[in-house]
Amino acid sequence: MDTFFEFFSFADPNIRYVVIGSLLLTGSSAIVGSFTFLKKKALVGDAVAHSVLPGVCLSFILYGEKNPIILILGAFATGWLSLILIDIISSSSKIKEDTAIGLILSVFFGIGIFMLTIIQKSGNAAQTGLDQILFGKAASLVGNDLIAFAVIAAILIVSVWFFFKEFTLLAFDEDFASTIGLPVRGIELLLTTLTVLAVVIGIQAVGVVLMAAMLITPAAAARFWTEKITTMVWLAAIFGAFSGLAGAYISYVAPSMPTGPWIVVVISTIAFVSFFMAPKRGILYRLNNQRRIKKQINDENILKALYQLGEEEKNFFEKRTMAEILTKRKFVPAALKTGLRRLKREGYLKNQNGYWSFTKAGKHKGQRTVKLHRLWELYLTQYLHIAPDHVHDDADTIEHILTPELEARLEKLLNYPTLDPHQSEIPYR
Amino acid sequence: MEALQIILAGSLVAIACGLLGCFLVLRKMAMVGDAISHAVLPGIVLAFLFTGSRDSVTMLIGAGAIGILTTFLIEFFHKKGKLQTDASIGVTFTWLFAVGVILVSAFAGKVDLDQDCVLYGEIAYVPLDLWITDSGLVMGPRVLYITGTVLIILIAFIVLGYKELFLTTFDPGYASAIGISTAVWHYLLMGAVSLTTVASFESVGAILVVALLIAPPATAYMLTENLKKMLILTSVLGVFISAGGYYLAAWLDGSIAGAMASVAGLLFMLAFLFSPGNGVIYKSISRRSKPATDPS
């Protein structure tokens, strides 16, 4: 607990540097990453992260010493070049985009490694630490780095804020953006530039591979919680910033622990929780929803079978056994049993010594399902000219989904018909 | 002798990666190969920790399992979570790689493994790492046996499963109609990628594995449409890349793995520009000459 207060009092300037640096870095790259994510180009961040290495080496070879600004310029140049090349390769040959990304990423990085080893063997003492750019050094950020971070983060955030509408349009509807006269190429180039900037800066803190995560993962996590892009970008920034803070804290408490990977583990955990737990889009919600719909279909089919039995014998409130229901429609016996019990609980059925019968509400519900089925069959034969013997399966699916509004429209469209294509009566209440 | 051993090891790895890469590139799964080759890192570290040895079969199995887990997670988030494929790949492999790096840091004293060696690999050590039997007989570089075995397994896999791999790659609908499970072959292929990656890891490093998985097949793809020709061409390119990379590295005194990746990139660039039929230059010439020959 002591370390907790020590850390969060931010009294130690080193802690301040690391925390502020990580926050700026993770927050701003999450914001830029949101747009590359929405453009379905999440992996270009990975490509850029690998492609900056030859640029760094080249500027070192040309300049002869480690000047941060020159190195960043070099990194920026090859990072940018890599995206342009990916674009050229995938647009002017049969090579697909993912292959182009993987190709450029690995070849650029290979060239970078090759140059790096040549530099290391050249005996120039100034090169020591050049390879830190591969793995990052978030825990040893100093004041100068922080100023660079702050400037770049400000550029990123301000540009996104300024071009928010344009980026949004580009992400969702590029064709529309160009028809209303937006300079699509220019905006795309700006987004590319911002991505490269974020990567070039971020890489020095978290390293090559993990930089890709800082662009992709917060956006992917945020996407699960909202349909609104503004909310999504905010959420991504908050998730990113939180993981930056958490990563810095963990490596403070356990000094042998690397900051960058911990940032990634934290943000990944947030993402996995989002994938599973988020309302509406989360995996658990979806599975649950599927189960609910399955239950509903099962139950409506039971009511339908009971209604059809009633129709045959002109007596809807007769008591029936499970065996009788099974003659009308195939059910898994266990599913039939739980369905019957559930329907009783919900007040649609009554049960006396193992005999099942409709309540009024149950008959009404069964009747509606049958009606929808037959209306839809009629609609398919009349309006889509599908043969009557081909419409049953389709109607069996749609009858569970049709809303009362659609029901009313169907009735009106078909002019309140009395018979379906198979000459069965369409029951109205 | 040393040069020959290194070039041979490089060629074996390059052919193995390239053959698999052909299927990955054609299936638009190039980045899945990239993802696996990074994501097996925690598997390798854990296997080191549990078995304490570098060359045990357990290590291959452990890392192979993580490789399969990677593809499973990518599929799972994509299918069940409706996450777009590229994001699903990115989230999964960066997470596993981060876990791997943390494991390396946490057990740095106990595992004979560091980040440099994982990322670059050091093929230059091939002639030094010898397989010596209990009776003291020197059998030659260990890596040659490992990569050789992997290559034989792979070739057997591709020859025996050629029809299935072909169909599930080009016409998955037809394949499943005649009873070939696309899922089974997907996971078999991914298992093969994991196996190859792990076996190649310590000899050439993660990044060269990715380069060799993608660059030679992409180059061959620029030159032919025929899968069999593409596989053969890829193997030839693999040998050329290995030899070319070795001599380039020897000349400029740099990393062999890096030089091999550079040569691979150079070859792709040549094919991209000059391929007869598919190259950029051929296309622009035929486009320019078209209006003259075309009466309309």
B98 to A98: CB separation less than 8 angstroms, yes or no: no
Quote the CA–CA distance of A61 and A121 in Å, as a whole number. 13
Closest CA in chain B for residue A251: B102
B81 to A115: CB separation less than 8 angstroms, yes or no: no
A216 to B259: CB separation less than 8 angstroms, yes or no: no
CB of A271 within 8 Å of any CB in chain B? yes
Q: Which helix (H) or strand (E) holds A13?
A: helix A13-38
CB of A101 within 8 Å of any CB in chain B? yes
CB of A113 within 8 Å of any CB in chain B? yes
A118 to B253: CB separation less than 8 angstroms, yes or no: yes
Give me the total of CB pairs closer than 8 Å, taking one residue from chain A and one from chain B.
207
CB of B287 within 8 Å of any CB in chain A? no
B203 vs A103, higher pLDDT: A103
CB of A103 within 8 Å of any CB in chain B? yes
A420 vs B27, higher pLDDT: B27
- Beta strand A349-352 with B130-132 is unpaired
First vs last C-alpha separation in chain A = 70
B10-24 pLDDT, tens digit per residue, is 999 999 999 999 999
Mean pLDDT, chain B, integer: 85
B161 vs A311, higher pLDDT: B161
Quote the CA–CA distance of A409 and A375 in Å, as a whole number. 11
How far B105 CA lies from chain A's nearest CA (Å)?
Answer: 6
**B233, two tokens:** 């061409």
Chain B segment 2-31 residues within 8 A of A by beta carbon are 25, 28-31
Average pLDDT over residues A50-60: 90
Q: Which of B86, B115, B211 minimises the CB distance to A110?
A: B211
* Percent of the residues in chain A that have a pLDDT greater than 70, as a whole number: 95
Cα dihedral across residues B47, B51, B55, B60: positive or negative = negative
Beta-carbon count within 10 A of A55 CB? 25
A40 to B115: CB separation less than 8 angstroms, yes or no: no
- A115: pLDDT strictly greater than 60: yes
pTM across the whole model? 0.85
Cβ pair B13, B197 in contact under 8 A: no
pLDDT score at A418: 82
pLDDT score at B137: 75
pLDDT score at A133: 66
Using CA atoms, how far residue A381 sits from A273, A371, A377, A386, B74, in Å, is: 47, 16, 6, 5, 43
pLDDT score at B120: 56
A93 to B207: CB separation less than 8 angstroms, yes or no: no
Closest CA in chain A for residue B253: A118
Chain A segment 30-69 residues within 8 A of B by beta carbon are 37, 40-43, 45-46, 50
pLDDT score at B296: 47
pLDDT score at B119: 56
Q: Which of A45, A106, A261 minimises the CB distance to B215?
A: A106
pLDDT score at B115: 55
* A425 secondary structure, DSSP code: B
- B233: pLDDT strictly greater than 90: yes
pLDDT score at B113: 57
B98 to A213: CB separation less than 8 angstroms, yes or no: yes
pLDDT score at B230: 96
Closest CA in chain B for residue A280: B81
- One-letter amino acid at A254 equals A
Residue to substitute from A98, A199, A286, interface B, most B β-carbons within 10 A: A98
Weakest-pLDDT range from A215-224, A330-339, B108-117, B254-263: B108-117
- B91: pLDDT strictly greater than 50: yes
ipTM: 0.91
Quote the CA–CA distance of A257 and A18 in Å, as a whole number. 14
Quote the CA–CA distance of A392 and A419 in Å, as a whole number. 15
CB of A281 within 8 Å of any CB in chain B? yes
B214 to A103: CB separation less than 8 angstroms, yes or no: yes
- A275: pLDDT strictly greater than 60: yes
Q: Which of B79, B75, B43, B77 is nearest to B60 (CA)?
A: B43
pLDDT score at A223: 93
Closest CA in chain A for residue B210: A106
pLDDT score at B53: 67
pLDDT category, B262, cuts 50, 70, 90? very high
pLDDT score at A135: 66
Backbone torsions φ then ψ of A386, nearest 5 degrees: -95, 140
Please report which residue ranges of A140-183 form alpha helices under DSSP H: 143-162, 164-172, 174-179
Weakest-pLDDT range from A7-21, A102-116, B175-189: A7-21
Selection from A98-112, A412-426, B135-149 with the highest mean pLDDT: A98-112
pLDDT category, B95, cuts 50, 70, 90? very high
A100 vs B292, higher pLDDT: A100
CB of A265 within 8 Å of any CB in chain B? yes
**B68, two tokens:** 């399969």
Q: What is the 3-state secondary structure (H, E, C) of chain B?
A: CHHHHHHHHHHHHHHHHHHHHHHHHHCCCHHHHHHHHHHCHHHHHHHHHHHCCCCCHHHHHHHHHHHHHHHHHHHHHHHCCCCCHHHHHHHHHHHHHHHHHHHHHHCCCCCCCCHHHHHHCCHHHCCCCEEECCCCCEEEEHHHHHHHHHHHHHHHHHHHCHHHHHHHHHCHHHHHHCCCCHHHHHHHHHHHHHHHHHHHHHHHCHHHHHHHHHHHHHHHHHHCCCHHHHHHHHHHHHHHHHHHHHHHHHHHCCCHHHHHHHHHHHHHHHHHHHCCCCCHHHHHHHHHHHHHHCCC
Per DSSP, the three-state class of A257 is coil
Angle ∠(A390,A391,A395) on CA atoms, nearest 5: 150
* A67 secondary structure, DSSP code: -
How far B202 CA lies from chain A's nearest CA (Å)?
Answer: 16
CB of B211 within 8 Å of any CB in chain A? yes
pLDDT score at B244: 96
Taking the CA of residue B122 as centre, how many other CA atoms within 13 Å lie in the half-sphere pointing to its CB?
Answer: 11
Chain A segment 227-256 residues within 8 A of B by beta carbon are 256
Mean pLDDT, chain A, integer: 86
Average pLDDT over residues A413-423: 83
For residue A320, the cross-strand partners are: A356
pLDDT category, B2, cuts 50, 70, 90? confident
Quote the CA–CA distance of A244 and A251 in Å, as a whole number. 11
Average pLDDT over residues A401-422: 85
Residue by residue, DSSP assigns A308-364 as: HHHHHHT-TT--B-HHHHHHHS---HHHHHHHHHHHHHTTSEEEETTEEEE-HHHHH
Q: Which helix (H) or strand (E) holds A75?
A: helix A68-92
- B165: pLDDT strictly greater than 80: yes
Chain A segment 346-405 residues within 8 A of B by beta carbon are none
Average pLDDT over residues A368-386: 87
**A155, two tokens:** 């550029």
Residue to substitute from A78, A103, A118, A243, interface B, most B β-carbons within 10 A: A103
How far A428 CA lies from chain B's nearest CA (Å)?
Answer: 40
Using CA atoms, how far residue A320 sits from A300, B13, B60, in Å, is: 17, 71, 62
Average pLDDT over residues A61-69: 80
Average pLDDT over residues B37-60: 77
pLDDT score at A125: 66
Using CA atoms, how far residue A116 sits from A64, A104, A122, B212, in Å, is: 13, 18, 10, 20
Q: Which of A106, A131, A264 minimises the CB distance to B94?
A: A264
Q: How many residues does chain A have?
A: 429
A360 vs A268, higher pLDDT: A268
